[in-house]
């Protein structure tokens, strides 16, 4: 390895193609050999600020279907950026195979190396190995699928006019959080397969159409109330509302069902990202920290580079305290990085306390344990499993109980012996999906008379629905379902709390 050459390249604050190639080569070598990372191949794209803004508003996908929502995000981001209110991120990475990462052109050499180590090794390895991503997303076909989605929606706009398509998209977007399968594996389809499936479906319907069926008398509804139960539809409640509407809306035309399906697929694709933010960022930070330090140890970068790196690294990890004016919640980078670093520490130098709390980690091979943690958890389980007393103490975490009926907040646990478990449990809960997405499920459809759709909201910890939002969202459901919709909030005793009708 030509140490001198690399050193010279990396100490020059302006970069060129050669620098990037070198950075990519070195980081993947260290990632592969020292950290044993398995990654997708990388596709590193250098973009301008403007292109980065585009990428922001297309939620990071290289292509997406047209919709005003993306335009709104663009206008918003552009405003904030041009006023200097927010900086753009240094990179953006897409869970695809090959793993596409956008790097900003105005990064310095140091930032470029950092970003390549962070995104192209850290995030990439996370996408490729974490169970959530492996189970729930299809990295090979997402780009392809988005091309299909765009073309399909453009075709619909041509055929039915763009207002109507927009209406459907608006409604489906409102239910995005409720368009996710949590327990069933989605099938992985490419654009070609998807097109074929559609074509076959239409063909089949056409070929098997028979006027006669219209004349067959419908079976009489069973009047006797006692059998009613067994004819409940759906038999089991369905939490994927979009899926349910797509499959069961009585009179929805095929193209609307397909649009709902597209939104559902996109939502599903982003589902793991929302649940692994702490882990993903923490792991990527952990990776870039190790790679750059090893580069320094091997004398591939000089002290200037290192100083700049340490500055950027610590800015990324900055965690304002609860009473700071900059405070805006826990920094996922910090929390994740601290936990991963602590796993390493516990493996290497366990204290008495660690041996008590983490008997399975103490003295083990740290790299193997890091890999295990990275592969088999998501944020809530990761925190529940690995948040150590030391991290709680270092970050001085404490729990505030906010009960609706009390006049005061109460500090219910702090970073002491009595509080560790409580802090850990509360923090884990905070990263559960139920914490921010209300639990709403399709209960039944009144098949016999009104086709009314009954939704049930299960109230957890007395947290009720936001009235306005619920009403507006219900309107959207009503539009998609095309028949009356009712949403009932049931408290923990199973008693109706609130009823929304549309």
Residue ranges in 35-64 that form contacts with another protein under rule CB under 8 A: 41-48, 50-51, 53-54, 57-58
Helix (H, G, I), strand (E, B) or coil at 104: strand
The piece of 185-193, 197-205, 343-351, 426-434 that touches another protein (CB under 8 A) is: 426-434
Of residues 174-193, which lie at the interface with another protein (CB under 8 A)?
174-178
Strand ranges inside 95-214, DSSP E: 99-104
**Chain residues 465-494 in contact with another protein, contact rule CB under 8 A:** 465-470, 472-473, 476
Site for another protein in 147-176 (CB under 8 A): 166, 170, 173-176
CA distance linking residue 88 with residue 86, whole number of Å:
6
Q: Which is nearer to another protein, 157 or 362 (CB)?
A: 157
The nearest distance, CB 231 to another protein, in angstroms, is: 28
Contact indicator for 41, 119 with CB cutoff of 8 Å: no
Residue 338 burial by Cβ neighbours in a 10 Å radius (0-12, 13-18, 19+): buried
Give the list of residues 6+ apart from residue 353 with CB closer than 8 angstroms, or none: 389, 390
Q: Which of 147, 189, 384, 437 binds another protein (CB under 8 A)?
A: 437
Residues 354-393 binding another protein (CB under 8 A) are none
Half-sphere exposure of 383 (CA within 13 A, CB side): 25
Q: Of 10, 28, 122, 456, which lies in the binding site for another protein, with binding defined by CB under 8 A? A: 28
Exposure b/e, 264-287, CB count within 10 A at least 16 = b? bbbbbbbbbbbbbbbbbbbbbbbb
The CA-to-CA distance between both ends of the chain, in Å, stands at 69
Q: 157 or 446, CB closer to another protein?
A: 157
Site for another protein (CB under 8 A): which residue of 5, 38, 307, 400? 400
Q: How far apart are CA 172 and CA 280, in angstroms?
A: 28
322 forms part of the interface with another protein (CB under 8 A): yes
By beta-carbon proximity to another protein, the closer residue of 204 and 327 is 327
Q: Among 180-188, 290-298, 340-348, 433-441, which window interacts with another protein (CB under 8 A)?
A: 433-441
For residue 177, give the DSSP letter. G
Q: Would you give the DSSP letter of residue 120? A: I
Q: What is the distance between the alpha carbons of residues 193 and 489, in angstroms, rounded to a whole number?
A: 40
> Which residue, 202 or 400, is less far from another protein as judged by CB?
400
Return the residue of 224, 297, 303, 408 that touches another protein, per CB under 8 A: 408
Query: Which CB sits closer to another protein, 80 or 193?
Result: 80
Q: What is the DSSP string of 306-368?
A: HHHHHHHHHHHT----TTSTT--S--HHHHHHHHHHHHHHHHHS--HHHHHH-TTTTTS-HHH
Residue 355, token pair as written in the block: 């041996």
> What is the per-residue DSSP string for 270-285?
HHHHHHSHHHHHHHHH
Nearer to another protein, 175 or 252 (CB): 175
* CA separation for the pair 444, 63 (Å, rounded): 37
Task: Please identify, using beta-carbon distances, which residue of 53 and 370 lies nearer to another protein.
Answer: 53
Q: Which is nearer to another protein, 8 or 393 (CB)?
A: 393
Among the listed ranges 205-213, 228-236, 269-277, 325-333, the one in contact with another protein (CB under 8 A) is 325-333
Shortest reach from residue 20's CB to another protein, in Å: 5
C-alpha span between 336 and 482 (Å, rounded): 45
Residue 97: CB minimum distance to another protein, A:
12
Pairing type for strands 439-445 and 496-501 reads unpaired
Question: Which segments of 32-132 are extended strands (E)?
Answer: 42-47, 91-94, 99-104
Is 430 a binding residue for another protein by CB under 8 A? The answer is yes
| Cβ partners under 8 Å of residue 474, min gap 6 | 485, 487, 500, 501, 502
Which of residues 263, 275, 440, 480 is near another protein by CB under 8 A? 440
Contact with another protein (CB under 8 A): which of 300, 343, 419, 441?
Answer: 419
Q: State in angstroms the smallest separation of the CB of 398 from another protein.
A: 4
- Is residue 24 at the binding interface for another protein, with CB under 8 A as the rule? yes
Q: Please, which of residues 233-272 interact with another protein by CB under 8 A?
A: none
Nearer to another protein, 336 or 419 (CB): 419
**Closest CB to another protein among 218 and 418?**
418
Smallest distance from another protein to CB 195, Å? 23
């Amino acid at each position: 390895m030509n140490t001198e050459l690399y050193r010279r390249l990396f100490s020059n604050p302006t970069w060129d193609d050669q620098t990037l190639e070198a950075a990519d080569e070195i980081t993947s070598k260290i990632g592969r050999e020292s950290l044993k990372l398995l990654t997708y191949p990388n596709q590193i794209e250098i973009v301008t600020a403007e292109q980065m803004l585009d990428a922001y508003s297309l939620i990071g996908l290289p292509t997406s279907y047209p919709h005003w929502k993306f335009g709104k995000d663009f206008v918003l981001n552009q405003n904030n950026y041009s006023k200097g209110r927010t900086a753009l991120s240094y990179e953006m990475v897409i869970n695809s195979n090959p793993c596409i990462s956008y790097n900003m052109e105005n990064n310095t050499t140091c930032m470029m190396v950092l970003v390549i180590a962070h995104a192209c090794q850290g995030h990439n390895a996370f996408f490729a190995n974490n169970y959530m991503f492996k189970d729930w997303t299809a990295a090979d076909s997402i780009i392809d699928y988005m091309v299909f989605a765009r073309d399909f929606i453009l075709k619909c706009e041509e055929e039915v006019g763009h207002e109507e398509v927009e209406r459907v998209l608006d409604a489906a977007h409102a239910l995005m959080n409720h368009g996710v399968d949590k327990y069933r594996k989605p099938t992985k389809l490419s654009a070609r397969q998807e097109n074929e499936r559609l074509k076959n479906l239409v063909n089949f319907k056409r070929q098997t159409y028979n006027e006669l069926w219209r004349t067959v008398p419908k079976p009489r509804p069973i009047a006797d109330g006692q059998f009613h139960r067994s004819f409940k539809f759906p038999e089991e409640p369905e939490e994927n509302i979009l899926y349910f509407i797509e499959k069961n809306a009585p009179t929805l035309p095929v193209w609307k069902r397909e649009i709902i399906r597209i939104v559902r697929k996109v939502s599903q694709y982003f589902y793991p990202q929302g649940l692994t933010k702490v882990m993903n960022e923490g792991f990527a930070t952990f990776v870039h920290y190790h790679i750059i330090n090893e580069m320094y140890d091997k004398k591939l970068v000089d002290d200037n580079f290192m100083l700049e790196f340490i500055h950027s690294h610590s800015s990324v990890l900055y965690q304002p305290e609860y009473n700071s004016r900059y405070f805006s919640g826990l920094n996922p980078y910090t929390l994740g990085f601290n936990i991963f670093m602590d796993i390493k520490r516990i493996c290497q130098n366990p204290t008495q306390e660690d041996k008590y709390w983490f008997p399975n980690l103490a003295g083990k091979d740290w790299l193997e344990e890091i890999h295990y943690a990275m592969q088999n958890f998501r944020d809530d389980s990761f925190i529940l499993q690995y948040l150590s007393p030391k991290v709680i103490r270092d970050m001085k975490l404490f729990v505030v109980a906010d009960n609706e009926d009390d006049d005061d907040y109460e500090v219910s646990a702090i970073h002491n012996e009595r509080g560790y478990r409580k802090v850990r449990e509360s923090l884990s809960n905070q990263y559960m999906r139920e914490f921010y997405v209300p639990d709403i499920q399709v209960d039944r459809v009144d098949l016999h008379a009104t086709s009314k759709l009954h939704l049930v909201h299960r109230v957890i910890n007395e947290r009720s629905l936001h009235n306005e939002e619920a009403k507006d969202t219900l309107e959207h459901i009503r539009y998609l379902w095309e028949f009356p919709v009712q949403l009932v909030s049931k408290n923990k005793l199973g008693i109706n709390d609130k009823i929304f009708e549309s």
